[in-house]
């Protein structure tokens, strides 16, 4: 990745470190991530306040092999990148269009995101699949376009309730991975973050149980072993998303194959979001 010259995530331990913050021994080498997907929320002033509060608080965290990513609405990406210059978080976009430039009114390209030091971009979110009819093929193009410009896709996958009830959730998720990501050469695939977000858990207050999350994450990792190799699978960060909050984060994150979270509603309040970060 391009070195944006921003804060390092391997900060020295500070004497006033809060107890139990990220001291858990992590035998996995893969990076742990908590990402906030703000969706279509916040005015400019509210966004500025939230960014600043999180930036200030993160100064007290030891983020060892751990990354915090904030994904505000596109209008606030420039401000987020400015704040991030002096802070320990990275900036992610919520969407992009898979072309470098051109006559695509209203769209934003990976080239533009890169010019604002945006390092991550969510793709495949169920809300975009549902409300904007985004297809596997279109998401494949987005992944390619982002990787061409050194931006990590955060690729969301997950089943709707009827698919889980029909016991087809594994097939649904496997197809999402196969059709939009598994064309990538291994070196490109290694730059992708995966987020398992069961659609029935998003914004409902009903999170997947830690067991359900672990089961699907292990399944996803196994698919990566079969498509690529063990090492690639072992190093891929797989996040859980869907009604993850300060109360349930620690148990979800304690699962072997759950490497952090993609947080919606609970990322809009600094205190709760930071509690989730400290649950890693
Ligand atoms: P909630 O955390 O609000 O359920 O949203 C999850 C999500 O969609 C994150 O991308």
Distance CA 132, CA 145 (A): 19
- Evaluate: CB of 243 within 6 angstroms of ligand 1: yes
**Residue 194 counted as domain residue:** yes
Active-site residue, from 149, 163, 197, 217: 197
Residue 207, pLDDT score:
93
pLDDT higher than 70, residue 117: yes
When pLDDT is averaged across residues 99-127 and rounded to a whole number, the result is 98
The model's pLDDT over 263-275, given as tens digits with 9 standing for 90+, comes to 999 999 999 999 9
> How much is the pTM?
0.90
Nearest-atom number in ligand 1 for the CA of 204 is 4
- Evaluate: CB of 264 within 6 angstroms of ligand 1: yes
The model's pLDDT over 227-255, given as tens digits with 9 standing for 90+, comes to 999 999 999 999 999 999 999 999 999 99
pLDDT higher than 90, residue 73: yes
**Residue 9 counted as domain residue:** no
Number of domains in the chain: 1
- Evaluate: CB of 80 within 6 angstroms of ligand 1: no
**Residue 109 counted as domain residue:** yes
**Residue 175 counted as domain residue:** yes
**Residue 218 counted as domain residue:** yes
Distance CA 203, CA 244 (A): 9
Q: Catalytic annotation on 125?
A: yes
**Residue 259 counted as domain residue:** yes
- Domain containing 46 equals 19-53+68-278
Mean pLDDT, the chain, as a whole number? 91
- Evaluate: CB of 71 within 6 angstroms of ligand 1: no
Residue 174, pLDDT score:
98
Q: Catalytic annotation on 197?
A: yes
- Evaluate: CB of 158 within 6 angstroms of ligand 1: no
Active-site residue, from 125, 149, 152, 217: 125
**Residue 267 counted as domain residue:** yes
The domain spanning residue 116 has which CATH number? 3.20.20.70
Q: Which of 73, 93, 128, 203 to mutate to test the pocket of ligand 1 (most atoms within 8 A of CB)?
A: 203
């Amino acid at each position: 990745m391009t070195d944006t010259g921003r804060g390092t995530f391997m900060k020295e331990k500070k004497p006033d470190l809060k107890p139990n913050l990220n001291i858990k021994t992590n035998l996995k080498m893969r990076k742990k991530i908590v990402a906030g997907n703000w969706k279509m929320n916040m005015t400019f002033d509210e966004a500025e306040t939230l960014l600043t509060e999180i930036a200030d608080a993160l100064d007290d965290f030891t983020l060892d092999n751990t990354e915090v990513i904030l994904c505000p609405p596109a209008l606030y990406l420039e401000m987020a990148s400015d704040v991030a210059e002096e802070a320990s978080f990275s900036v992610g976009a919520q969407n992009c269009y898979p072309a470098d430039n051109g006559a695509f009114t209203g769209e934003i390209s990976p080239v533009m995101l890169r010019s604002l030091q945006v390092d991550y971009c969510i793709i495949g979110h169920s809300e975009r699949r549902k409300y904007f009819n985004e297809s596997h093929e279109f998401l494949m193009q987005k992944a390619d376009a982002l990787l061409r410009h050194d931006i990590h896709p955060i690729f969301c996958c997950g089943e709707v309730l009827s698919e889980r009830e029909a016991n087809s959730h594994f097939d649904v998720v496997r197809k999402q991975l196969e059709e939009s990501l598994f064309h990538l050469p291994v070196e490109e695939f290694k730059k992708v973050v995966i987020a398992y977000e069961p659609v029935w858990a998003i914004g409902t207050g009903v999170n997947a149980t830690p067991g359900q999350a672990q089961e699907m994450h292990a399944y996803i990792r196994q698919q990566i072993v079969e498509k690529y190799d063990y090492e690639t699978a072992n190093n891929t960060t797989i996040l859980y998303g869907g009604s993850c909050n300060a109360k349930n984060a620690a148990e979800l994150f304690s699962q072997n194959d759950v490497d952090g979270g993609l947080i919606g509603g609970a990322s809009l309040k600094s205190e709760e979001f930071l509690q989730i970060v400290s649950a890693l």
